[in-house]
Chains A and B, each alone.
Chain A
Amino acid sequence: MTNSDPRFGGPGPEARWTEMLADGIFAIQRCGACGAAQFPPVATCKACGAASPDMIPADGRGTVYSTTTVRAREGDHDVSIVELSEGPRLMTCVTGIAPGDVRIGMAVTARIERAADGPRVVFDAPEAT
């Protein structure tokens, strides 16, 4: 047991991320060795291979990189890919405007939405005025 490498000790990255999300924090990873940011959280740095990149709160600013409206019986909804200010991209949902009004290049802000099947990170569009 004690022979395991301590660099990989503690809960795994996905478990830690999920726990932070439940505590109201949208986290990404930043590598202590090379400084690269990444998402989703995994056990090693994709840029340099270093173990256990740090989990840090994302600053929450992002830009819509691409977007689609999924047409479903229960209603249309947005699926977008947002590029975070730190660099990584993630799949998400842009909220606050009609799905068909989401545009590539739009500045959006992260928010944790408490849905029935658990919390998730969504992004608010700028005030549609």
Chain B
Amino acid sequence: MTDLRGAISIAGIGNTQRWDAPGRSAFDQLQEASILALEDCGLSLADVDGLYCAMSVSGFPVLNVAERLGIAPQLRHADGTMVGGASFLFHLRSAMSALATGQCDVALVCYGSNQRSAGGRLAAMPDPQPFEAPYKARYPISGYALAAARHMHDYGTTRAQLAEVAVAARQWAKLNPAAFERGDITADEILASRMVSDPLTKADCCLVTDGGGALVLTRTDRARDLRQPLVPVLGTGVAVSHRQIAAMPSLSETAAKRSGAAAMAEAGVSVADIDHVMLYDAFTICTLLFLEDLGFCAKGDGGPFAASGAIAPGGDLPVNTNGGGLSCNHPGMYGLFTLIEAAVQLRGQAGARQVPGAEIALAHGNGGVLSSQATAILGTAATL
């Protein structure tokens, strides 16, 4: 078997940072991010022969994007796997195999959304669920609310602890000039926010923004000669759990346990080695679940861990340093932005929010209603 540890690197990153951009389509955002990512590393569209994308506005993302970017004839590998917000970490793993085996040489992983300016609601793919629909749950928040309620029941987690997750995200966002929400917020204000689906309030929910992001991946030997500091992918892991929330084996434990263990085994690292953490925080409960299931604290201790200040600026574990989906941006399928922020930190380009000496980062994506989980371990040249 091919050892993929460090074989593939993130060579370029692109982020439109256009979180509220009326008049732009999801494809406009995606194309801009793709060009930014290619320019970031000194490559061009002519070099791209692998395409990886998922969009909530299109059932044919690869076809639409290839046509619009004008790269259709040159593609040798493509993957439009759609597992919600974790899709891009699934794409990363797929692209790595294709790059390592020579099925393509330059892979573009890309995403765009205009969900905020198009109406301000989380756009859901047409995917009818006849055994859920009669009960009028609010999708996706009620799924996460059911998980939060069960976590509270099993472990004594409190709403005040959930609020601390949102406070920490905002504290990080204040250090990121590109974050969408940077105003002061207190735990009391979060607790007083409008209840949407108990126990989750509006303040427990991610933002609804527009946005576009992209990554360029190459084999590491090629990335060394490109413009940016090397960000090798040390390990990845993916896990599929369920489609309908009622089919989740345990509502207080996610398949991040599997994806995280697989990624860390492939990378040859343990949680103690990880300097920087990006967790897909669609809702405050997600951060707690993933901290536990990835092994950063004991199962059930996510609430006290977050409330201790550990994940906020100045804490022991820098988590969601861009401000996360809660305060930086959330265009609907945020997973790609966990990889982008991890790469920014490992390159040492994070400005006021830079984690000093960050050598190993963990990026974690989630999709659906805790349905798909994917973890990536990224490093610097020194970790190879």
Contact = CB atoms under 8 A, between A and B. Distances in A.
Given A68-B197, A70-B142, A91 B135 contact: yes
Interface in A25-81: 39-40, 65-72, 77, 79-81
Q: Which of A69, A117, A120: most chain B Cβ within 10 A?
A: A69
B146 A68 contact: yes
Contacts of B251: 65-66, 81
Interface in B186-203: 194-200
B135 A68 contact: no
Contact of B130 (A14, A66, A69, A79): A14
B166 interface: no
Given A40-B131, A79-B142, A91-B131, A67 B149 contact: yes
B153 interface: yes
Contacts of A92: 135
Contacts of B131: 39-40, 90-91
A69 B149 CA distance: 10
B63 interface: no
Chain B contact residues: over half helix, strand or loop, or mixed?
mixed
B247 A89 contact: yes
Interface in B116-157: 130-132, 134-138, 142, 145-147, 149-150, 153
A102 B218 CA distance: 53
B136 A81 contact: no
Interface in A77-129: 77, 79-81, 89-93, 100, 104-105, 115, 117-118, 120
Interface size class for chain A?
20 to 34
Contacts of B147: 66
Contacts of B146: 66-68, 79-81
B244 interface: yes
B300 to A, nearest CB: 15
Contact of A65 (B150, B196, B200): B150
* Among all A-B residue pairs, the 5 with the closest Cβ atoms: A68-B145, A120-B134, A66-B150, A40-B131, A66-B146
11 contacts: A39-B131, A68-B145, A68-B198, A69-B198, A70-B138, A71-B195, A79-B137, A79-B146, A91-B135, A105-B153, A118-B134
Given A68-B197, A79-B136, 12 more contacts: A40-B131, A65-B150, A66-B147, A67-B146, A70-B138, A71-B196, A79-B137, A81-B245, A89-B247, A91-B135, A100-B198, A104-B149
